Structure 1
């Protein structure tokens, strides 16, 4: 799958899109998209959802997304990395923001994989539209403190989108049909990727009431890849994020994702990318300069 990276913490652009000629890409950053005008289909993780004027949606890192427009489409795209929301903060504040972003990523990864996310309340749509207009103005004019203002505006938009997801969960919790087991497993893996002890076959089998032998067989049958490969690939993508957009040391990434030591992480990452984490980071710095 072809990937697209963001080489600065924040980008905003308003574009016309006659046709989406590229294959869907796996982007390595968060993206808020508002449809200013037009109609068509958005593609996310091999699912297709229609869009129209006023549609607002959010993609997380690791989502594969693209568009198919049937009516000339104009949209605003707001792209940002984790490091954008961590700037200008104390260590304690950064840790809180990182935890918040992880929670957001869990919520939206689930919705982008399994169902369409809709902004339920018209008042929230109006608030988000107003905030996005303010972002466009701040980004274009770049007056004093514009970067801090952009941080606050992005955070407000994410909070409003998030509460629509949570409200929808509460509304549907007693009415929707039982979610397929594989969906529950995938969501669980995303939510617990930072807790290695909860990703072991035995632990997973007990949690989902399956035998240890059948756990791996079931996962591969439904996803086409082994449980170990899926978890490893997900971790490697997170490491790429940290190396590209954060100032995390290799040791901090080791602790965050539960590797035994730096050598263990380096060996795994080199198998994945063909280079060591240090070389990967140096290459990204060179590409950005």
Structure 2
């Protein structure tokens, strides 16, 4: 399988085609792909997903994909490396990193179109048109302006993912474990909120019952589940080179960097430097 490599932090492509000339491949970067016009099939990780005007996909480096075009299609590609996610141009790095985590770790990325609000199709389309225009102008401050548009795009996609997850939970309101899992996801950056006692208080249950019930439904302990979840987010952040160690410790609610190092060593058996920039 071919692997495309990109060395610039950001590349934007806007093109029409009626024939797709790229066989199944993956990349060393991330891609936001917007279907501005056209229909066809997107083969994403061996799944055939019909696409149409207004659909948007977010691919990670290990995602394998290709398109089969049925109707001449206008693709807009926003391709960025892990270094584009640096926090130099954001007012609140902790919040920015959390928003990025939500996108990059969402299971919905592998299921197809990420836009759940029809009203957001036009909003995203207009943002991407502005990005294409500014990218092609390439004048003073263009890159800063594009990054501001990108931040808005991330927030809009987050809104759609949150809406999808909320609907999923509403559809499963009879399932207590779904509600507990949602609570954990919402509080994963604040370990004080993930104790048996806090979860029991939130759901008006006894701490002992919470632990027993969770293990029965998930076949693992509550403590182990939350530790592995936090570690997965940390590992993603470290591999993408998004944050320094001090920022990571702050974002994930550790007392200091030393506490962060001990957590990673305990859960994975590895040192923090072993996880960086793989």
Q: Per-residue deviation at 1:198? A: 0.7
Distance 1:135 1:52 in 2: 21
Task: Output the CA distance in 2 between the equivalents of 1:216 and 1:11.
Answer: 48
1:52 aligns with 2:48: no
Residue of structure 1 aligned with 2:122, choices 95, 111, 126: 126
- 8 Å CA contact 1:82–1:98 kept in 2: the answer is no
Residue 183 of structure 2 corresponds to residue 182 of structure 1? no
Paired with 2:211 and 2:28, the residues of 1 have a C-alpha distance of 28
Residue 198 (structure 1) aligned to one of 170, 193, 201: 193
C-alpha separation in 2, matches of 1:119 and 1:188: 23
Structure 2 stretches of 5 or more lacking a match? none
Residue 78 of structure 1 and its aligned partner are, at CA, apart by 2.7
Question: By how many angstroms is 1:151 displaced?
Answer: 0.8
Where 2:34 maps in the other structure, the secondary structure is strand
TM-score, scaled relative to structure 1:
0.64
User: Residue 231 of structure 2 corresponds to which residue in structure 1?
Assistant: 236
8 Å CA contact 2:101, 2:233 repeated in 1: no
Match of 2:35 in 1: 35
Matches within 5 A, 1:66-145: 71=69, 75-80=75-80, 84=85, 86-88=87-89, 93=91, 95=92, 97-99=93-95, 102=98, 112=108, 117-121=115-119, 124-139=120-135, 142-145=138-141
Q: Deviations over 1:195-234 (max 9, x none)?
A: 1111112221232234433423433444454332332222
Instruction: Give the distance between the partners of 1:29 and 1:218, measured in 2 at CA.
Output: 40
Q: Which position in structure 2 is the counterpart of 1:151?
A: 147
Q: Distance in 2 between matches of 1:101 and 1:200?
A: 24
Deviation at 1:11, TM superposition (A): 4.8
8 A contact 1:39–1:70 mirrored in 2? yes
Q: Which has the higher mean CA deviation after the structures are superposed, 65-74 or 204-213?
A: 65-74
Structure 2 equivalent of residue 226 of structure 1: 221
Return the alpha-carbon distance in structure 1 between the equivalents of residues 186 and 9 of structure 2. 24
Q: What residue in structure 2 maps to residue 208 of structure 1?
A: 203
Are 1:9 and 1:245, in contact at CA under 8 Å, matched by a contact in 2? no
Measure the CA separation in 2 of the matches of 1:7 and 1:193: 33
Counterpart in 1 of 2:249? 254
Q: Which shows bigger deviation, 191-200 or 230-239?
A: 230-239
Contact 2:227 2:267 in 1 (8 A): no
- TM-superposition CA deviations, 1:159-210 (whole Å, max 9, x none): 444566778899x79x967363333222222221221111112221232234
TM-score normalised by length of structure 2: 0.66
